[in-house]
Amino acid sequence: MTTFRSNYTTMLPYSHPPTLPPAQPLILAVFVLLVALLAGCGDGDGASDAYGTFEATEVRLAAEVGGRLLHFGVDEGATLAAGEAVGLIDTTDLALQRREVRANRTAVRAKARSVLAEIDVLAEERQTLRTEQQRLQRLLADSAATQQQLDQVDGQLRVIERRMQAIRSQNAAVLSELEALDARLAQLDERLRKSRIVNPVAGTVLTTYAEAHELVHPGAPLYEIADLDTMILRAYVSGAQLPHVRLGQAATVLIDENEDADRALPGTVRWIASEAEFTPTMIQTKEERVTLVYAVEIHVPNPDGRIKIGMPGEVRFREATP
């Protein structure tokens, strides 16, 4: 009995499992390690240097002549090439006017040829009279001709000279008329050329303002197009940041990838404002809207069309800024 109690007492300390260390220090160490890793992968304090919205160079094409829009092959969202013919305005009246002008021009040219032919005839007569004048002068010197004969030839020469002068004046008027018709013809040709609607720049159609078979007037907008392959982030930097921003400088532009992450895109500074302005209301907080800033434009390639007009964006310049 005594032996049993002794053995029981000896085994009693081993009846409970050993005590484990607290878990809080281990969790805290893992948390500190994750924070350090995230800080090492981050970009300093993570703040961007400037904020803004994306823009594009928009071109609004308008009708240059008036008339009915016979053909108009422009749809919103379509991609057009530079120099592509996209429409045609009715040119019937212009074609008829051009035909009339060409007919008048043909008649005036025939008149001009007739005048020139008359001048040639008078020139031949003048040459004959000059020859006769020289012969009579020799005969008169030999007393073989009279002064009356020579005076008669001289008078005929003066008459021919006056007739030629009058015809030359008439020819000048004809040539002026012909020049006016040529100018009118060139004007009609230019209007006919402008009746063909040709897309001026490559890009994507943003908005259309007309439809086929509508009657349009000169200056009426037809559609708006923009090159969306390269977008422009218009951002604002402070006066302290301005010395660290230069034309041609590379920058990193950030757009929203999803709710928790950003997408980084390469950009290049293409324009810097020469004058300061107040921070736009939609960009900064109320406290910062009274700050004078400088607008900058960063061109960002957009081959996949991910960036849209009006989207917000952030920029981080590769050189350190205050």
pLDDT tens digit sequence for 72-113: 999 999 999 999 999 999 989 999 999 999 999 988 888 877
Query: Which tops the pLDDT comparison, 193 or 11?
Result: 193
Q: Which of 45-54, 60-69, 310-319 has the lowest mean pLDDT?
A: 45-54
Average pLDDT along the chain = 80
Residue 288: pLDDT band with limits 50, 70, 90: low
* Strand extents, DSSP E, the chain: 50-55, 58-62, 67-72, 79-80, 85-89, 196-198, 203-208, 215-216, 221-226, 230-238, 250-256, 262-272, 277-278, 292-301, 312-317
Q: Give pLDDT, residue 253.
A: 93
Q: Give pLDDT, residue 89.
A: 95
pTM above 0.75, yes or no: no
